[in-house]
Amino acid sequence: MLNDNTCLYPQYYIAIVAVLAFESIVYVHQAQFYAPESRPKPKTGIVFVETRRPDADVGLVECAKFFANYCFYKFGLEVRTVAAKAFCKSSGQLWWR
């Protein structure tokens, strides 16, 4: 006895495998990119490397950059998870509706 959702299950598994494959490709690429000693690995949780706290007083763009850095420093994992869920939900074809 098949229902309407039976055909969607393989699509879910294919989407999960595709996301995991993409993640592993990114990790391998970053490992190869930062392998030479001349390239320092950037700090985690920093989006804009050149932005510091005194730069936030200069203008609105610099202030937004500083707060983006601060937001990812404090709530990086949560922001990444919410952004991934919002992307999957907005595409509509990857996950449930």
> Cα separation of 4 and 96, whole Å?
12
More reliable by pLDDT, 24 or 2: 24
Q: Could you read off the pLDDT of 35-86 as tens digits, one per residue?
A: 777 777 766 667 787 888 888 888 898 888 888 888 777 777 777 777 777 7
**pTM score of the predicted model:** 0.43
How many Cα atoms within 13 Å fall on the side-chain side of residue 27? 6
What is the Cα 4 distance to its own chain's centre? 32
**Band of residue 97 on the pLDDT scale cut at 50, 70, 90:** very low
- Per-residue pLDDT, averaged over 9-19, amounts to 80
